[in-house]
A and B are shown apart, each in its own frame.
Chain A
Amino acid sequence: MVTIIDYGVGNLFSLVSSFAYIGEETKIESDPDAVRRAEKLVLPGVGAFGDAAEKLRATGLGEAVTEAAGRGAPLLGICLGMQLLFEKSYEYGEHRGLGLIKGEIRPIADVIPEGYLIPHMGWNDLVLTGLGERCPIFKNTKTGDHVYFVHSFYAAGCESNVAATAEYGAPLTAAVMSDGENVFGTQFHPEKSGDVGLGMLRAFAEL
């Protein structure tokens, strides 16, 4: 059973459908107490970092997720959900995140050469790091597999936690794993990445 955190940001249809497709039950949850006790958690999200971080704080869900992750529950952040795992973001101002992984969210425009379109949108291939090679959610995934991205910001200053990168004029952080090896984040959308993405969700569901 995977608990999907509902804090009013983004559309959960595809995420619920993809877990259903691989035979994993999901529960959409907005109650902090239930999130605190959950077996496995997914933190989704699209949109702006500041709004989302504020909603997590205001609902008490941010604190609940942090507690669940602290006791070792597997947690997967997807897209903006991955970015929220970090300490802070510089998307339209400066905002504090959950701080479960060390590092910060910066505009990709800072690192990619001119002529590259922003957002980085479309299919790109993954390069797994040493950490990624032993990352449990990548047990069905290898370097060269393609996944679907849509983002204008990326995670920086988190070198020791990077599990995969994608080349877009610069190696952008594509996935991360925490020091405790129970918190994972993907900048891409596994629920939109065909069989490769379903393989990751299956690996996460099996944790």
Chain B
Amino acid sequence: MKKKRIIPCLDVRDGRVVKGVNFKNLGDVDSPVSLAAKYSDAGADELVFYDITASAEGRKIFTDILAEAARNVFIPLTVGGGISSLSDFERVLNCGADKVSVNSGAIRDPSLIPEAAKRYGDQCVVISADVKRVGDGYRVFAKGGREDTGLEAIEWIRRCVGSGAGEVVVNSMDADGVKGGFDLPLLTLVCGAVSVPVIASGGAGTVQHFIDLFRKVPDVDAGLAASVFHFGEIEIRDLKRDLSAAGVPVRI
């Protein structure tokens, strides 16, 4: 039986893992390479490396770190942040990434997803959407959550999947960093709209939040979190044991 995945996300800037609250107030955490190995040993099912540097030097440091992690950790690695062209795909795939997640890049250039899917396969292309409730609906935000694109979120995600994205990361900006639980209504909407795996991101604060996620949105494939793992508030080994005890199929 296929298992639900637990995915720690490592936001990397200047060679360090950082984590903020509501996309601001970034704080320093640890070396990405040692953290990646620690999570893999603890039973993480996959890792996301997110490049939040903007400079060219920062990008070089990031790819070096990615390669170093990929030489020591043998679970799937997804890389995102600053992916805006096929050459960005090439750059991170050559350093050990298995999947590449696109966000603002896909908004700027609608041909990025179909072209990447054609060259590397759908399974390699992940659409990551920063979603925030605006009025009665949900909108997609770009540039690390700073810019309202005006795009209706569910429609946008559906379009990305239709053009070749093989997986969706839904990051609820309303839930992110405040540790009040995953955004279950939003995730239910997305799961109902697409037929590719959906990864829930934003809002994890306790083990119970993960149990609620997989019980109340049974179609969701994975739960992603950062700070609760980085700061040791939830140990992955304990989380997976508790999920299993609650009847959620996980790899132990």
Contacts and interface: CB of A to CB of B under 8 A. Distances in A.
Asked if A and B bind, the verdict is yes
Given A124-B1, A167-B1, A168-B2, A17 B71 contact: yes
Interface stretch (B72-80, B145-153, B180-188, B205-213): B72-80
Contacts of B123: 119, 121, 150
Interface size class of A (residues with CB under 8 A): 20 to 34
Contacts, number: 76
Interface in B18-48: 40, 45
B3 interface: yes
Interface string B194-232: 011100000000000000000000000110000000000
- Which of B70, B75, B195, B221 has the most chain A CB atoms closer than 10 A to its own CB? B75
> Dominant SS at the A interface?
mixed
A192 B94 contact: no
A13 B122 CA distance: 20
A192 B1 contact: no
Contact of B70 (A13, A123, A195): A13
A6 interface: no
Interface of B: 1-3, 5, 40, 45, 67, 70-72, 74-76, 93-96, 98, 121-123, 166-167, 195-197, 221-222, 251
18 contacts: A11-B93, A13-B70, A13-B94, A13-B95, A14-B70, A17-B72, A120-B2, A121-B123, A121-B197, A122-B197, A123-B3, A123-B45, A150-B123, A168-B2, A191-B74, A193-B75, A194-B74, A194-B75
Interface of A: 11, 13-14, 17-18, 20-21, 46-47, 117-125, 146, 148, 150, 167-168, 191-195, 197-198
